[in-house]
């Protein structure tokens, strides 16, 4: 019904209702395993929500370190948020890798003397992939190397604190000097740790839709994958993950996803995010 309505109202544009892509979603409590991660990497699982996946003490300390960080910056690339670390989004390779190098001490300082849960997963996955004859490493260039994660507090106001988007466009269109562009042909996995969550909202919403290049062009988001309009997403099934501090969400970043608005002025939402995927059958790259 909705599809029919939409194609009628948008008949002046060459427009089709977005295709519904099937999703496979899992929610569990406890620690994440390398098998879970590889399942997302291979496209078998669309999204995994691990509840209570890392300790609340570690979560609180990372949050305190983020708030007090002298490396905390305001994003100026059209995506509202404060961050520590570097984002390759809309940056050429020279700029991104230089920023990653400059930000490294601040990213490291988020974990101070803690056993860094992001690095722990990276290490475990590296060991498992090594056994399978697959190399896992941080993306790099002549200008430097990616960091293991970036920390972000989204600050968009309204329905979403981070607007609906996909993580593949920015990889596919990363540009010269990036070795990660080829990952866009495979699953771009997005790993999110949540050290702090607001009382209300800040949920991760995932739509049953994996945009194609043609979809992105039609939506005017070919190079960014951001943002998809409410009108475009209307009528598509979606799922929402109610996250708590200490949770992990691992998703196929090719599916449209966003973060719902946050209410109240209590705790702020903090995510540690990284991306990874197969660049070649024997190489998995990791970046931010």
Ligand X SMILES: O=C(O)CCC(=O)C(=O)O
Residues that bind ligand X (CB under 6 A): 162, 167, 190, 192, 204, 257, 259, 271, 273
Tell the smallest beta-carbon distance from residue 2 to ligand X (Å). Answer: 25
Q: Which stretch binds Fe ion (CB under 5 A): 137-145, 162-170, 198-206, 215-223?
A: 162-170
Spatial contact of 285 and 148, defined as CB atoms under 8 Å apart: no
Q: Is 163 in the site for Fe ion (CB under 5 A)?
A: no
Among ligand X, Fe ion, none, the one that 216 touches (CB under a kind-dependent 5 to 8 A) is none
Spatial contact of 204 and 257, defined as CB atoms under 8 Å apart: yes
Q: Cβ closer to ligand X: 192 or 208?
A: 192
Q: Cβ closer to ligand X: 6 or 150?
A: 150
Tell the smallest beta-carbon distance from residue 190 to Fe ion (Å). Answer: 5
H or E element that contains 119:
helix 117-131
Among Fe ion, ligand X, none, the one that 271 touches (CB under a kind-dependent 5 to 8 A) is ligand X
Tell the smallest beta-carbon distance from residue 150 to ligand X (Å). Answer: 8
Tell the smallest beta-carbon distance from residue 243 to ligand X (Å). Answer: 7
CA atoms within 13 A on the CB side of 153: 20
Residue closest to 232 by CA, chosen among 221, 243, 244, 224: 221
Over the window 75 to 104, marking each residue x when it contacts Fe ion by CB under 5 A and - when it does not, the resulting string is: ------------------------------
Spatial contact of 55 and 141, defined as CB atoms under 8 Å apart: no
Tell the smallest beta-carbon distance from residue 240 to Fe ion (Å). Answer: 15
Residue closest to 117 by CA, chosen among 192, 37, 202, 196: 192
Listing DSSP states for 162-224 in one string gives EEEE-SSHHHHT--TT-S-GGGGGS--EEEEEEEE--SEE--EEEES----HHHHHHHT-TTT
Q: Cβ closer to ligand X: 134 or 191?
A: 191
Binding residues for Fe ion, rule: CB under 5 A, are 167
């Amino acid at each position: 019904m909705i599809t029919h309505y939409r194609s009628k109202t948008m008949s002046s544009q060459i427009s089709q209702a977005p295709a519904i892509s099937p999703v496979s979603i899992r929610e569990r409590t406890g620690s994440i395993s390398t098998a879970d991660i590889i399942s997302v990497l291979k496209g078998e699982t669309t999204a995994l929500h691990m509840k209570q996946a890392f300790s609340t003490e570690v979560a609180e300390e990372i949050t305190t370190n983020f708030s007090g960080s002298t490396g905390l910056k305001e994003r100026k690339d059209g995506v509202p948020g404060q961050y520590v670390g570097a984002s390759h989004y809309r940056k050429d390779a020279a700029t991104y890798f230089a920023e990653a190098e400059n930000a490294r001490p601040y990213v490291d300082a988020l974990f101070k003397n803690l056993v860094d849960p992001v690095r722990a997963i990276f290490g475990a996955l590296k060991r498992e992939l090594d056994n399978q004859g697959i190399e896992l490493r941080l993306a790099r260039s002549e200008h430097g190397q990616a960091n293991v994660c970036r920390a972000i507090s989204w600050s968009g106001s309204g329905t979403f604190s981070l607007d609906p988007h996909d993580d593949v466009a920015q990889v596919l269109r990363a540009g010269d000097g990036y070795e990660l562009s080829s990952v866009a042909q495979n699953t771009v996995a997005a790993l999110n740790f949540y050290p702090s969550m607001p009382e209300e909202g800040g949920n991760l919403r995932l739509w049953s839709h994996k945009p194609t290049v043609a979809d992105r062009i039609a939506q005017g988001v070919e190079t960014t994958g951001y943002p998809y309009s409410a009108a475009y997403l209307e009528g598509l099934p979606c799922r929402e993950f109610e996250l708590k501090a200490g949770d992990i969400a691992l998703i196929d970043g090719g599916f449209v996803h966003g973060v719902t608005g946050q209410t109240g002025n209590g705790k702020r939402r903090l995510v540690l995010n990284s991306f990874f995927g197969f660049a070649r059958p024997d190489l998995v790259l990791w970046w931010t």
